[in-house]
């Protein structure tokens, strides 16, 4: 297992390097001059030169690239051009809220998605299967901000069950949960749809395998075969999907946070965009991309834990 772990981590290093290079290239593809974009057409030549120097964009590209990479290695992502605080400080201030939201959504997704997927697979081509298929397809089709707006309209504005603005800093646990409920439900519904579909097709595939037939022939009950023998193998792709879905989830949480006016990485990105805070935007991109690469490694490791054959490869 240790060898597998080390091999997988070693493989991630060139990917990380390439990802960081991509961020650098993207951030420098800016048409024209970032200083001009920030200060506008009326800016004086001195102001532009000063800002260029502050941003470090007056130096040759290779030097900027080396600075950028060595900064990341030292854990320094620069400082926000608007607030003057370090990018890490900005991120860490809101990160707990995004993590809280994401974890709640994943939990909801597993809680509802796995049983629904198993139900659909065991009632293959019957009514529960058809219903699950349609509902999960509808769940996948909802752009996160559309479902968020509809949930907000129904449950917060019409029924008034939940607050319109989700404030995670509010008082006691019950109140916090009430503020978390709608955003988490919004992300959780999409997650449930994904997990239901993957669980369904995965369980269907496994149920057709020879070893399941053998287990049934040995007289093991249907239930025991399903939960003890089939599900263990069927859950491997499900674990992968949760890992792969993290990227989409980040995008969806951005939209969800905007609709529910909830602090988090999404609102941070939007603020950076509106205020043309290039350093913050670049830092956020590095963090997101790095996070996705690490999530992929973690997914592979989870894979190795569940399935010994993966480790051997």
Partner 1 sequence: MTAEAVAIETVRRRRSAFRFAAAPLTWIGAALIALIIVAALLAPWIAPYDPLEQSIADRLMPPSAEHLLGTDSFGRDVLSRLIHAARISLAVGVLSIALAMVAGCAIGITAGWIGGWFDSLVMGALDVLMSFPSLLLGLMVVAMLGPSLEHLVLAIAITELAPFARVARAPTLALKERDFIEAGRALGLSELRIIVVHVVPNLLGDVVVVASLWLATAIRTEASLSFIGLGVKPPTPTWGGMLREGFETILDAPWLSVAPSLAILATVLALNMIGDGLRDAVDPRLRRD
Given the complex with partner 1, which of 97 and 288 has the nearer CB atom?
A: 288
Q: Cβ of residue 174: shortest distance to partner 1, in angstroms?
A: 26
- With CB under 8 A as the contact rule, the residue among 1, 49, 103, 146 that binds partner 1 is 146
Q: Cβ of residue 48: shortest distance to partner 1, in angstroms?
A: 19
Give the C-alpha separation, 70 to 204, whole Å. Answer: 49
Given the complex with partner 1, which of 96 and 251 has the nearer CB atom?
A: 251
Is 292 among the residues that bind partner 1 (CB under 8 A)?
yes
| Candidate ranges 78-86, 106-114, 224-232, 252-260; the one touching partner 1 (CB under 8 A) | 252-260
Is 135 among the residues that bind partner 1 (CB under 8 A)?
no
Tokens of 111: 């809680």
Given the complex with partner 1, which of 151 and 225 has the nearer CB atom?
A: 151
Is 56 among the residues that bind partner 1 (CB under 8 A)?
no
Is 273 among the residues that bind partner 1 (CB under 8 A)?
yes
Q: Are 283 and 20 in contact (CB under 8 A)?
A: no
Is 165 among the residues that bind partner 1 (CB under 8 A)?
no
Closest CA relative to residue 289, chosen from 10, 9, 23, 40 = 23
According to DSSP, the residues that pair with 64 across neighbouring strands are: none
| Candidate ranges 1-9, 101-109, 231-239, 251-259; the one touching partner 1 (CB under 8 A) | 251-259
How many Cβ atoms are within 10 Å of 118's Cβ, its own excluded?
A: 20
- With CB under 8 A as the contact rule, the residue among 79, 192, 296, 299 that binds partner 1 is 296
What distances in angstroms separate CA 87 from CA 73, 172, 212, 280, 303, one per listed residue?
A: 15, 30, 53, 6, 33
Give the C-alpha separation, 104 to 267, whole Å. Answer: 18
Q: Cβ of residue 276: shortest distance to partner 1, in angstroms?
A: 9
Q: Cβ of residue 111: shortest distance to partner 1, in angstroms?
A: 24
Using CB under 8 A, which residues numbered 101 to 130 contact partner 1? 124-125
Is 19 among the residues that bind partner 1 (CB under 8 A)?
yes
The owner of tokens 């603020």 is 271
Q: Cβ of residue 32: shortest distance to partner 1, in angstroms?
A: 10
Instruction: Compute the chain's Rg from CA coordinates.
Output: 24
Count Cα atoms within 13 angstroms, Cβ side, for 41. 0
DSSP 123-149: TTTSHHHHHHHHHHHHHHHS-HHHHHH
How many binding residues for partner 1 (CB under 8 A)?
51
Given the complex with partner 1, which of 139 and 188 has the nearer CB atom?
A: 139
Is 140 among the residues that bind partner 1 (CB under 8 A)?
yes
Give the C-alpha separation, 99 to 111, whole Å. Answer: 18
121: Cβ contacts below 8 Å, ≥ 6 apart: 129, 199, 200, 201, 203, 204, 207
The owner of tokens 């607030």 is 83
Q: Residues interacting with partner 1, by CB under 8 A? A: 14-15, 18-19, 22, 26-27, 29-31, 124-125, 133-134, 137-138, 140-146, 149-150, 152-153, 157, 164, 201, 205, 247-248, 250-252, 254-255, 258-259, 269-270, 273-274, 281, 285, 288-289, 292-293, 296
């Amino acid at each position: 297992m240790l060898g597998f772990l080390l091999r997988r981590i070693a493989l991630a290093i060139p990917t990380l390097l390439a990802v960081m290079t991509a961020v650098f290239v993207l951030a420098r593809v800016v048409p024209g001059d970032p200083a001009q974009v920030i200060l506008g057409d009326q800016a004086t030549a001195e102001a532009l030169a000063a800002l260029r120097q502050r941003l470090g964009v007056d130096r040759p590209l290779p030097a900027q690239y080396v600075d950028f990479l060595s900064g990341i290695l030292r854990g320094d992502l620069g400082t926000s051009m608007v607030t003057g605080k370090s990018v890490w400080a900005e991120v860490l201030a809101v990160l707990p809220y995004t993590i809280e939201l994401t974890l709640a959504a994943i939990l909801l997704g597993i809680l509802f998605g796995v049983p629904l997927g198993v139900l659909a697979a065991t009632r293959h081509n019957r009514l529960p299967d058809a219903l699950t298929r349609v509902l999960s397809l509808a769940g996948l089709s909802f752009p996160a901000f559309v479902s968020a707006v509809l949930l907000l309209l129904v449950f917060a504005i019409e029924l008034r069950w939940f607050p319109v603005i989700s404030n995670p800093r509010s008082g006691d646990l019950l109140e916090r949960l009430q503020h978390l409920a709608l955003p988490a439900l919004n992300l959780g519904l999409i997650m449930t749809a994904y997990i239901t579909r993957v669980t369904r097709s995965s369980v269907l595939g496994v149920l057709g395998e020879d070893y399941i037939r053998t287990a049934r022939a040995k007289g093991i009950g249907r239930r025991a075969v399903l939960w003890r023998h089939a599900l263990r193998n069927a859950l491997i792709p499900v674990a992968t999907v949760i890992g792969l879905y993290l990227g989409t989830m980040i995008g969806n949480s951005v939209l969800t946070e905007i609709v529910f006016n909830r602090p988090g990485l999404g609102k941070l990105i939007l603020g950076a965009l509106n205020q043309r805070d290039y350093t913050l935007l670049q830092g956020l991109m590095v963090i997101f991309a790095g996070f996705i690469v690490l999530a992929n490694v973690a997914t592979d490791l989870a894979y190795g834990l569940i399935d010994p054959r993966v480790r051997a490869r």
